[in-house]
Amino acid sequence: MTFRSQFFLYIVLLSYCVNAQQKIFSYNQIQSRNNIQEWGKCETISTQKAEFTANEINLKIDKNYHLTILSKTDLPDRGTIYLCKDEKSNPITVMLFDNIKMYLYAKTKRFLINFEHTSSLGQLADSD
């Protein structure tokens, strides 16, 4: 195997590993929309974690959400849309923007979460 082919294989493997890595974000404030679609005041809660894996999203807002990812669409400017189903097969849409904020749409519920900081799995595990 030549150096170029080894280098190419290494780059492909590295990019796959980075994309498959679990992402964990922490947050302690939630905003929701009212029935006339206006954003309410930020509600402060105890610090929670949103966990994104290749196949699932787990977080707690008004209840525990254990979501199975059906499809993932990457957007420009480091945004991602996840079409999911909860444990009762209800459709849920999660939009993640630049790893700093997330929107969750579930039936008539609308939530906005601004993450405190982004962390890799190893950094978060060290801080617990």
- Choose among 66, 55, 52: nearest CA to 120: 52
> Is residue 52 within 8 Å of 96, Cβ to Cβ?
yes
Looking at the domain assignment, is residue 16 inside a domain? no
Question: Is residue 2 in a domain?
Answer: no
Here the tokens at position 123 are: 């950094």
- The answer as to whether 99 is a domain residue is yes
Domain count across the chain:
1
Q: Are 26 and 102 in contact (CB under 8 A)?
A: no
Q: What is the mean pLDDT of each run of 10 residues along the chain (128 residues)?
A: 61 52 90 86 91 95 94 92 96 94 92 76 41
Q: Give domain status of residue 7, yes or no.
A: no
The CATH number linked to 83 is 2.40.160
Domain that holds residue 115: 22-127
How far lies 3's CA from each of 7, 9, 12, 14, 119, in Å? 6, 10, 14, 16, 34
0.85 exceeded by pTM: no
